[in-house]
Structure 1
Amino acid sequence: MGKYVLQRIVQSLIVLAGALVISFVILRVVPGDPAVLMLSDMATPDEIEQMRVTLGVHEPVWTQFGIYLQQIATGDFGISYRRGAPALPLVMSYLPATFELALAALLITLVVAVPLGVLAARRKNSWIDNALSMGALLGQSLPVFWLGIMLILLVSVQLRLLPTSGYGEFRHLVLPAVTLAFSHIALVARITRSSMLEVIRQDYIRTARAKGLPERTILRRHALRNALAPVVTVLGLQVGTLLGGAIITETVFGWPGAGALLVSSITYRDYPVVQVMVVVSALIFVVTNLLVDVIYVMLDPRVSVS
């Protein structure tokens, strides 16, 4: 297992390096001059050039890339062009709200989707199974922004049960988290159902039944553990989707996370802030998938052997 984990760590570092290089290149080739965007329309060419010098974007690309690598190594990404504050602490001040929303959505997904998938597998071709299939298709088809707006109109405006926006209390978290989790519940429930159906056809499940073990014990101790490996893999891949979907959800519900900060920073070519966001997001995604690989081996030790 140690060799397997070491290989995954090396692969993760390569992926992280590739993500950082690609983000640097894309940010520089996108049309738009941060100096022009920061100044008024009345700015003179001399003022624009002076702003380029101040921001450091007048340097050759290779020089900027060297500075970029130095910033990553030291953790000093410079000052936000637009907000005038250190980029790293600025992003870190917004991240807790985004993490709170993403983790709440992930928890809702696990608590709801896995039992639904197991239930649908146990009741294959029943009305429960058919209803889950239709609900999963509907859940993956609905746009996040539309679902969020509909929940606001129904739950907040019509029923007056929860606030439309805000931050700091549990009631402010419910609607955004449910909105973000909805499509993920549909996907994970379908994966759980398919995995459970495959596992319960195996010989060791028939042997457990022949021994007279209760069906609940068979499902919990023998079937579910082996069926969770694909589910864990899908959940690891969904972390990036959760962070991406959080941008839209935060906009709809006025959630003070890093999504709105990222959008405005890209619009104004605020390189330091965007670079911090890319580094943090890539690091989160790589670490999460590394943990998923380790958990996968714990669930199925045959993976490390192969």
Structure 2
Amino acid sequence: MIQYILRRAVQSLIVLLGALLISFVILRVVPGDPALMMLSDLATPEDIERMRAALGVDQSVWLQLGIFLKQVATGDFGMSYRNQVPALDLVLSYLPATFELAVAALGLTIVVSVPLGAYAAVRKGSWVDNMLSGFALIGQSVPVFWLGIMLILVVSVQFRLLPTSGRGGLSHLILPAVTLAAAQVALVSRIMRSSMLEVMRQDYIRTARAKGISEWAVILRHALRNAFAPVVTVLGLQVGTLLGGAIITETVFAWPGAGNLLVNSIGARDYPVVQAMVVISALVFVITNLIVDIIYVLLDPRVTYS
């Protein structure tokens, strides 16, 4: 296991380097000059050139890349062009709100989808199973932004039950978390159902039943743990989806998280902030998948990494 973790650490560094290079290239290819966006329409060509020199974007692309990689190696992503504060500090100040939303959505996904999928598998062909199939189809088809807007119109505007936007207490978190979790619940519940159906056909389940163990004891003690292992893998992959989906959800609900910061920074061509966000997102994704691999071994000792 130690050798596996060390190998994954090396692979993670390669992934992070690739994310850095891709974000660097894409930002430079997209039309737009950060100097022009920071100056008024009355700026002279001399003002623009001085601003470009101050931002360092007047250098060649290769020199900019070298300076950028050197800064990242020392943990310094540079100064935000728009806010004039360290880019990493700015991103870290916005991340708690995004993580709060993502963790709430992930928790809601687990609490709802795992029992629902397991029960639908146990009651295969019942109205619960049919309802789950319909919900999964709708949940994965509805766009996140449309669902968020509909929840605001119905729950907040029509019935005035919850706030329409902003970040505050639990009441502000409910609608964004439900919006972000809806598609994940639909996906994970279907996978949980399929995994449970597969496990319920295994020989050790028939053996447990033959010993006279009650049906619910068989499900809870033998089937559920083994069926949950593939779901853990999917949940790990969905962390990246939750972070990506949070950008849209944060925009709809005016949630003050890193998603809003990223959208505004891309529009302003604030290269340091965008690149810091890309690296942090890649780092979270890599660490999450490593944790998932370790949990998978704990759930199923037959799995080994060499």
TM-score (norm 2): 0.97
Q: Distance in 2 between matches of 1:258 and 1:287?
A: 19
Displacement after TM superposition at 1:37 (Å): 1.7
Q: CA deviation at 1:301?
A: 2.8
Who is 2:165 aligned against? 165
**Cα displacement (A) at 1:129:** 0.4
Q: Give me the whole-angstrom Cα distance separating, in 1, the residues matched to 2:136 and 2:66.
A: 47
1:140 maps to a residue whose letter is Q
Q: What is the total number of aligned residue pairs between the two structures?
A: 306
Which has the larger displacement, 141-150 or 3-12?
3-12
Query: What are the residue-to-residue correspondences of 1:192-207 with 2, within 5 Å?
Result: 192-207=192-207
Range that drifts further, 169-178 or 291-300: 291-300
CA RMSD of aligned residues (A): 1.3
Which residue number corresponds to residue 6 of structure 1?
Answer: 6
Shift of 1:305: 5.2
Matches within 5 A, 1:156-305: 156-304=156-304
Amino acid at match of 2:138: L
- SS of the equivalent of 1:304 reads coil
Aligned mates of 1:72, 1:2 — CA distance in 2: 27
For residues 77-116 of structure 1, the aligned pairs below 5 Å read 77-116=77-116
**In 2, Cα distance between equivalents of 1:106 and 1:230:** 16
Aligned partner of 1:299: which letter? L
Q: Output the CA distance in 2 between the equivalents of 1:119 and 1:4.
A: 36
For residues 188 and 113 of structure 1, the distance between their equivalents in structure 2, rounded to whole angstroms, comes to: 6
Tell me the amino acid that sits aligned with residue 83 of structure 2: R
Paired residues of 1:77 and 1:87 also in contact (CA < 8 A): yes
Q: How much identity, in percent, do the aligned residues show? A: 74
Preserved CA contact (<8 Å) 1:114 1:189 = yes
Q: Which residue is equivalent to 1:129?
A: 129
1:173-224 per-position Cα deviation (integer Å, ceiling 9, x unaligned) = 0111011101100000000000000011000110011011111221112111
Q: Is the 8 A contact 1:98 1:257 kept in 2?
A: yes
* 3-state secondary structure, aligned to 2:84: coil
Please give the alpha-carbon distance, in whole angstroms, between the structure 2 residues aligned to 1:39 and 1:207.
Answer: 75
Q: Is the 8 A contact 1:192 1:231 kept in 2?
A: yes
SS at match of 1:138: helix
Distance 2:277 2:199 in 1: 40
Deviates more, 1:128-137 or 1:27-36: 27-36
Letter in 1 for 2:20: L
Q: Which moved more, 1:279-288 or 1:5-14?
A: 5-14
Task: Give the 3-state SS of the residue equivalent to 2:128 in structure 1.
Answer: helix
Relative distance call for 1:55 and 1:5 in structure 2 (3 A) is same
- Superposed displacement of residue 302, structure 1: 2.9
In structure 1, what residue type is equivalent to 2:34?
A: P
Structure 1 runs, 4 residues or longer, greater than 6 Å off: none
How has the CA–CA distance of structure 1 residues 305 and 157 changed in structure 2, closer, same or farther, with 3 Å as cutoff? closer
Match of 1:147 in 2: 147
Equivalents in 2 of 1:164, 1:190: separation in Å?
A: 31
Contact 1:12 1:290 in 2 (8 A): no
CA distance in 2, matches of 1:60, 1:79: 19
Q: How far has the Cα of 1:80 moved from its partner?
A: 1.0
Using the alignment, how far apart are the partners of 1:267 and 1:131 within structure 2? 42
Amino acid paired to 1:29: V
Give the stretch that moved more between structures: 246-255 or 104-113: 246-255
Contact 1:4 1:304 in 2 (8 A): no
CA drift at 1:166: 2.2
